[in-house]
Amino acid sequence: MASSNEEYILNKIDSPADLRLLPSGKLEQVCAELRQYIIDVLSENPGHLGASLGTVELTVALHYVFNTPIDRLLWDVGHQAYGHKILTGRRDAFHSLRKYKGISGFPNPNESEYDAFIAGHASNSISAALGMSVASLIKGEDQRHVVAVIGDGAMTGGLAFEALNNASTDPNNLLIVLNDNNMAIDHSVGGLSEYLVNITTSQTYNKMRYDVYRGLRKLNLISEDSRGSILRFNNSLKALITQQHNLFEGFSIRYFGPVDGHDVNYMVKVLNDIKDMKGPKLLHIRTVKGKGFKPAEESATEWHAPGKFNKETGKRIIAPSTIEPPLFQDVFGHTLVELASKDERIVGVTPAMPTGCSMTYMMKEFPNRAFDVGIAEAHSVTFSAGMAKEGLIPFCNVYSSFMQRAYDQLIHDLALQKLHVVLCLDRGGLVGEDGATHHGVFDLAYMRPIPNLVIASPMNEHYLRNLMFTGYKYDGPFVIRYPRGKGVLVDWKNEMTLMPVGKGRKLTDGTDVAILSIGASGNDVSKAIELVSAEGLSVAHYDMIYLKPIDEDLLHEVGKNFSKIITVENGVIQGGLGSAVLEFMSDNGYYPRIKRIGIPDKFIEHGSVPELNKLCGIDVESIAACIRNLVSFEC
């Protein structure tokens, strides 16, 4: 914070141009104010706190040195870009972060010209930035700098490695800033994270290399354009000092660092030094996730996205514990342990979301049988397929929207070989404040065309458990899709039973209209039916449970007995349950009037789940209105 005799500066920075007018001596103050502003706002309006606190100095240094938005700045994942938002004209709007009609929690070019590329899903920044850097050369815009900021977690994604590989050959002047805090949401995992720790321990070597390099440049003994000579210089220096091999230089990408990512003035100096170098280069900075807010520094996973908190006491504000239904993710986690304790062939796999999906329970109970494979959704599926081929029974848990990354693996590696993997898709449906990048609304539609897959979705916790048990017993790829958040049953721990594959169930009888739903949306359908029943309407409700194979007996029954049908799903209308029912009715000579309720053909913004459900017409009131309208033929 500004001391009493210092004027508050942040309010005067309406764009990075204002920042760049400040003397460098003021940058530390800007950082302090920026950090405090993030803490102040997020304590009341929750968001991704830890990552953005860790990048305060980097953000200030980048906007100070680079001529944004002409220079392109890409944030990987984008959850660390709150400081960037505040410095780029969104300071006052920051209070509306992640709220319905407010600013997005991630960079989005539709929101600001300073947001150079869409972000939300990890590991795309180097590819996109490389494309921009190559484009600027082809277009003759050689003055334009392109910078990708990527975390050590996001760097574990395969896409990032594909981009590094490409960056090493196609001409470009890309700068990659590797923001290394040794954390993803949970602890960073794998060889890369160990490697980065090792580089850090050889800091003296790297600093010496950088200092010698600066000296030679000052003496004009090496030239900027002569990439080969720099590499030769690096190599011979390396040979002089140590046999150590640098991964990035192995890719022909110049490596600088590691530097202290909380020393804003030093970063300004380094960035100024390296920004005009030709060719691809990587600056490795070390930061602390949650920097400047003690509880967040001490417990980074908890404070990744902590919800509301008291900024004075450092305590999270958690609703007083009443007896409530558990989170679906927790039911998954406990049930997996229960199954795994009876069959040692069961293993668990998560791509970097152990806390989020509650694989942590399995990791604690059976550390040798649970795997966090890093931000690597595609790999997680094929890795699971490999284990299944050898007789293990993997439960691979992937957030629905991140699963989009693994479509070919699903088809080629899993379904084609009909391997026994239970694929648990958490966060299916609208997820709320994370918005368009994170809604898990495409899964039912994109999986339905894939042969050999069984696709199921539970209406409540008992069905989740039953489906996990059925998936465990079923010899083939078995997908279970369930939503973010709480279930509906306080008493969730039932005796698990087999659910006949491809069989749905009738929940209520009725004559006016039949509603076919899948998954937890069925609970809203039940409530809507209660509303219209009180008005004298008679509605039959079927919980399909399985999208594939779909229950054909049930559909014949509905086709024969109803002239009006409503389908309800928390997924895109095109291709999911509604489409399956339309196809079936048409193929079998039934011609009822069918109204499909689901997510319309557009990307859905951020907001609370109830707000978005209403927006999409999948909330209780909208379903009830649809029933009334269909009965009177106006729907």
Ligand X SMILES: Cc1ncc(C[n+]2csc(CCOP(=O)(O)OP(=O)(O)O)c2C)c(N)n1
462 annotated to bind ligand: no
Q: How far is CA 245 from CA 188, 195, 250, in A?
A: 22, 11, 7
334 is in an annotated binding site: no
Distances (CA, A) of 134 to 123, 147, 326, 348: 19, 12, 50, 41
Label residues 273-312 b or e (16+ Cβ within 10 Å = b).
Answer: bbbebbbbbbbbbbbbbbbbbebbbeebbebbbbeebebe
* By CB under 6 A, residue 484 contacts ligand DXP: yes
Q: Is 121 annotated as a binding residue?
A: yes
> 606 near 98, Cβ under 8 Å?
yes
Cis peptide before 46 (omega within 30 of 0): no
Q: Interhelix angle for 328-340 vs 461-473, to 10°?
A: 40
48-67: which residues touch ligand X (CB under 6 A)? Answer: 51, 54
Pick one of 356, 477, 487, 519: the residue that binds ligand DXP (CB under 6 A). Answer: 356
Q: C-beta of 48: minimal distance to Mg ion in Å? A: 12
Q: Measured from the CB atom, is 84 or 484 closer to ligand DXP?
A: 484
Q: Does 35 bind ligand X (CB under 6 A)?
A: no
**Minimum separation from the CB atom of position 409 to ligand DXP (A):** 20
Which one among 61, 122, 467, 554 touches ligand X, defined by CB under 6 A? Answer: 122
Instruction: Tell me how long the chain is.
Output: 635
Contact (CB, 8 A) for 167 and 146:
no
**Which residue number, 85 or 484, has a Cβ lying nearer to ligand DXP?**
484
Cα angle for residues 211, 24, 182 (degrees, 5° grid) = 60
What gap in Å lies between CA 26 and CA 18, rounded to an integer?
12
- The entry of ligand X, ligand DXP, Mg ion, none near residue 57 (CB within 5 to 8 angstroms by kind) is none
Buried/exposed 332-355: b ≥16 CB within 10 Å, e otherwise: bbbbbbbbbeeeeebbbbbbbbbb
Query: Which 388-407 residues touch ligand X, going by CB under 6 A?
Result: 402, 405
CA pair distance 81, 484, nearest whole angstrom: 24
Taking alpha carbons only, the member of 266, 268, 291 closest to residue 36 is: 291
Out of 76, 152, 330, 434, point to the residue binding Mg ion (CB under 5 A): 152
Residues within window 38-57 making contact with Mg ion, judged by CB under 5 A = none
Mark residues 111-150: x for contact with Mg ion by CB under 5 A, - for none.
----------------------------------------
386 is in an annotated binding site: no
User: Shortest approach of ligand DXP to residue 36 CB, angstroms?
Assistant: 23
Is 79 annotated to bind ligand?
yes
Q: Which residues contact 569 (CB under 8 A, 6 or more apart)?
A: 444, 517, 518, 519, 521, 576, 577, 578, 597, 598
Is 176 an interacting residue with respect to ligand X (CB under 6 A)?
A: no
Whose CB is nearest to Mg ion? 151
Q: Which region, judged by CB under 6 A, interacts with ligand DXP, from 196-204, 282-290, 414-422, 426-434? A: 426-434
Shortest Cβ 528–ligand X spacing (Å):
33
Q: How far is CA 290 from CA 44, 103, 185, in A?
A: 17, 22, 12
Task: Report, as residue numbers or ranges, the catalytic residues.
Answer: 289, 377, 405
Angle 480-187-328 (CA atoms, 0-180°, nearest 5)?
25
Written as six digits, the tokens of 635 are 């729907």
Q: Shortest approach of Mg ion to residue 587 CB, angstroms?
A: 50
CB 119 within 8 A of CB 156: no
Return the range that interacts with ligand X (CB under 6 A); candidates 183-191, 237-245, 318-326, 570-578.
Answer: 183-191
Q: Which is nearer to Mg ion, 34 or 183 (CB)?
A: 183
Q: Is 215 left (phi over 0), alpha (psi -120 to 50) or beta?
A: alpha
Query: Candidates 126-134, 176-184, 582-590, 608-616 — which segment interacts with ligand X by CB under 6 A?
Result: 176-184
Give the helix/strand (H/E) hosting 216: helix 203-218
Residue from 63, 72, 79, 439 touching ligand DXP (CB under 6 A): that is 79
Q: Residue 33 Cβ, how far from Mg ion at the closest point, in Å?
A: 24
Is 352 among the residues that bind ligand X (CB under 6 A)? yes
Segment interacting with ligand X (CB under 6 A) among 74-82, 231-239, 503-511, 593-601: 74-82
Does the annotation place 120 within a ligand binding site? yes
Round to whole Å and give the CA distance between 618 and 486. Answer: 17
| Contact assessment for residue 597 and residue 578, using Cβ atoms and an 8 Å cutoff | yes
Q: Which alpha helices (DSSP H) does 312-359 contain, by range?
A: 328-340, 354-357
Residue 483 φ/ψ region, left for φ over 0, alpha for ψ in the -120 to 50 degree band, beta for the rest: beta
The answer to whether residue 427 forms part of the interface with ligand DXP (CB under 6 A) is yes
Q: Binding site annotation covers 152?
A: yes
- Residue 303 contacts ligand X per CB under 6 A: no
Strands (E), 361-459: 370-372, 393-399, 422-426, 454-456
153 is in an annotated binding site: yes
**152 counts as binding ligand X under rule CB under 6 A:** yes
Interaction site with Mg ion (CB under 5 A)? 151-153, 181, 183
User: Which residues participate in the annotated binding site for thiamine diphosphate?
Assistant: 79, 120-122, 153-154, 181, 293, 377
Interaction site with ligand DXP (CB under 6 A)? 48, 77, 79, 185, 305, 356, 427, 431, 434, 484
Interaction site with ligand X (CB under 6 A)? 51, 54, 77, 79-80, 121-122, 151-154, 181, 183-185, 289, 352, 375, 377, 402, 405
User: Which residues participate in the annotated binding site?
Assistant: 79, 120-122, 152-154, 181, 293, 377
User: Which residues participate in the annotated binding site for Mg(2+)?
Assistant: 152, 181
